[in-house]
Amino acid sequence: MDPIPDWGEHKLWPTDTRSLVSAVLLAIAFTANMQITERIDAATTGGALMWLGIMFATTWMLTGSTFFGMTGALIVANVNPFIAILTATAPLAPCFFVANMLISVPAALLIHHVKKAGQPLPFKTFMAVGVPCGMLSVIPLFVIWVLLLNLPAQLITVFTIWGAFMAIPGAFLGYLMCRYIARSGVLIG
């Protein structure tokens, strides 16, 4: 797979207007996407497992973290949970704050560490960061399944594996999104 082309300077805490506005736009797009997927999740698992939510949260969190560092990670991670709570799209919406932060914060730190100035970001490196970060989002769901919902052990096992597995296509979609955004040149300037 082709690497994600170099998109210029990469800061851990960007504060320029372009980065902030871009991160807010990503957060709005993520929220629009999640308004649909959270309803599908609720229809398929009663809202107990956000399987599409994990996949697309991984996609959008990695994109925000990759291009806009910790600032983008925090913005993209924390807009949708507010909207999800206000619109009651999912019964587990309050745990989305923690689930999203468990993807975006480690991703921002790791991408900042592995991204070399002037160099593209290889596919394997992106996936090696993205998949484990996406899998972390299952942790708050697991806690709720065990402590709050008292789900049977077999169902918890299935949900945990299913949820963690969804980080793989989510990271791949994040890679594709990042590659196309970087190739477009909108971040250079």
The tokens describing 45, both together, are 């698992």
Q: Cα angle at 107 between 52 and 177, to 5 degrees?
A: 55
Instruction: Give the model's pLDDT for residue 189.
Output: 57
Task: Name residue 88's amino acid.
Answer: A
Rounded-to-integer distance, Cα 80 and Cα 179, Å: 24
CATH number for the domain whose boundaries are 17-184:
1.10.1760
What pLDDT shows up at residue 9?
82
Count of CB atoms within 10 A of residue 97's CB?
17
Its sign, for the CA torsion 102, 166, 160, 47, is positive
Per-residue confidence (pLDDT) for residue 91, from 0 to 100: 87
- Flag residues of the chain having pLDDT under 70: 189
Rounded to an integer, what distance in angstroms lies between the CA atom of residue 10 and that of residue 171? 20
pLDDT for the residue numbered 186: 86
What is the tens place of the pLDDT at every residue in 119-143? 999 999 999 999 999 999 999 999 9
Q: Is residue 38 within 8 Å of residue 90, measured between CB atoms? A: yes
Tokens of 169: 């296509």
Report the candidate in 3, 7, 177 with the shortest Cα–Cα distance to residue 76: 177
Give 130: exposed, middle or buried? Use CB within 10 Å, 0-12, 13-18, 19+.
buried
pLDDT value of position 89? 87
Tally Cβ neighbours within 10 Å of residue 141: 24
Task: Answer whether 129's CB lies under 8 Å from 170's CB.
Answer: no
Helix, strand or coil, per DSSP, at residue 120: coil
Q: pTM for the whole thing?
A: 0.94
d(CA 189, CA 185): 8
